[in-house]
Structures are given as structure tokens and as C-alpha cells.
A = this chain, B = another copy of it.
Amino acid sequence: MRNILLTLSYDGTSFCGWQRQDSCESQTEPVRTVQGEIEKVLAKIHKEPISLQGSGRTDSGVHAVGQTANFISPIDSIPVDKYIPAMNSLLPRDIRIHQAKEVHADFSARFNAVSRTYRYFISTSETPFAHEMPYVWSIRRKPDINVLNEMASCLKGELDCTTFASSADSSPSKCRYLYDAHFFMEGEKLVFEITANAFLWKMVRSITGTLIEFEGKGFGAKEFKTALDSLDRSQAGVTAPSTGLFLWSVSYEGKRVHK
């Protein structure tokens, strides 16, 4: 028995999110999820059902380049580094395994995670290229990055994030510890990077949509802080679409230090 931690990427376009969903009787086809596809491959390799635990769920359409997940392998005969080619040859190409390493028996990809980093990609050009469409939010204007970063600087420390919580979020506490939030340009794309110990459901998309909407209205850090402190969902702006969102990395070693 070994506990194996995977680092993986996926193109969220054709998935109904991360979490395995058992198909209802009324459905003829099972719902396609990242966890479901990987568990199918792990079952094939191990010849028995294997349960995979991710660092967290991602929604339908959300991508990942550094998702992590662990599983208990009942067999010791497969060298750990052989999981990468073995799984990649069986997985659909919209999921790729990048690392596999043995971790201590009680390690949990979810509960041992110290922080998660997301990046949100925004196209500022008049029309994004067709092949970029599934991976950006197209806003067709160039916001003032200084104003955005002034607002984003409010997103530091222990914060009650109720303003940015989906009404369907069932977390008992809406407080999260935010390490960093800032914007930068990558070519023609505006990128928002945010790191926290954990996130509420749709929180990154709600924050991103609010920041962009507020900047467009001529609001600044003062108005953003007021919305944040209001703990009132109706004070938030639009929820940015899932297409632009990437789970970028999950950290297990102390607080992630940013450049």
C-alpha cells in the first residue's frame, strides 16, 4: 500500500467539473468529470476501484495546470514514476499527469494543502483568436491595471468573503486567509493571480468579475473595500465566466512566497 500524490493538468472545456458524479437513472450517459476519468484509468491499472481525492473541486469549464490529487495504491509493483506514462497513455488528452510521488500514509491532497493559487486570464483585444476563446474572458477593452491593483491590494489577510460567496455555498465559515492578489500583463492578456489558504465556491470568478466591473465604472479601492466589508452579496459585481479560470498551483510547504 502506497499513498501517491499526482500533479496534473486538465482542459476544463469538455468536463462537468472535477467531482465524480454518479449518473442518474434518467441519464443514459454518465456525466464526464476529471475525477471520474482519472478513477476509471486507476481502476484499469489496479484492476479494482480506486478513490482519488483532489486538493479541491473545480467547476464546469474551469481549467487546471497544477491540480493535485492523491490515492492509495493497493499494489507496490509499479514504480511510482511509471504512473505518469501509464496514466497518460490511458487518459483522454484533455487530462495530463505531470508528476507522481509517494507521500506519507496520512497525507491528504486536500487537507494538507497550505494554499491554492488561481490565475484568471482576460483578453483585452477587440476579438480574441478562435483558439484562445475557451481559455479567456473577452472584455474588449483595456482596463487601468494600476486601479485594478489598488483594488486587489485590499485582498490580503484574514477576510470574511461573504460578499463574494455564491448563495449556494454551504461553507460554515466564509472567512479565508488571502496571501496575495495582483494583476499583470502577459502579452495582450491581463492576468489576475490570487493565492489563499482556500476559496469559497465561485469566489475567484466573483472577485475577478467585481474588480473588472468596478474599474469599468470608475470605482477604486475605496468602493471595492466598501463592497468587501458590506458582507452583502448584492454589492458584488458580475461573476466572470469559467473559461478564463485556471487552478495554477497548490502548495504544501509553508506559505507560498511570491516574486
Contacts and interface: CB of A to CB of B under 8 A. Distances in A.
A92 to B, nearest CB: 9
Contact of A11 (B88, B93, B97, B133): B133
Interface in A80-122: 84, 88, 93-98
| A-B CB proximity, top 3 nearest | A11-B131, A9-B129, A9-B130
B127 A131 contact: no
Contacts of A9: 129-131
Interface residues of A, number: 24
A131 B63 contact: yes
A138 to B, nearest CB: 10
With most chain B CB atoms within 10 A of its CB, the pick from A8, A63, A134 is: A134
A133 B63 CA distance: 13
Given A84-B127, A88-B127, A94 B133 contact: yes
A164 interface: no
Given A11-B133, A133-B11, A127 B97 contact: yes
A134 B84 CA distance: 20
Nearest to A126: B98
Nearest to A12: B131
What secondary structure prevails in chain A residues at the interface with B?
A: mixed
A195 B131 CA distance: 22
Contacts of A128: 96
A80 B184 CA distance: 35
A135 interface: yes
A107 to B, nearest CB: 23
Contact of A93 (B88, B96, B133): B133
A135 B131 contact: yes
A158 B56 CA distance: 57
B135 A95 contact: no
Given A9-B131, A63-B131, A65-B131, 11 more contacts: A11-B131, A11-B133, A63-B130, A65-B130, A93-B133, A94-B130, A94-B131, A94-B133, A96-B130, A96-B133, A97-B127
Contacts of A127: 84, 88, 96-98
A10 interface: yes
Contacts of A131: 9-11, 63, 65, 94, 134-135
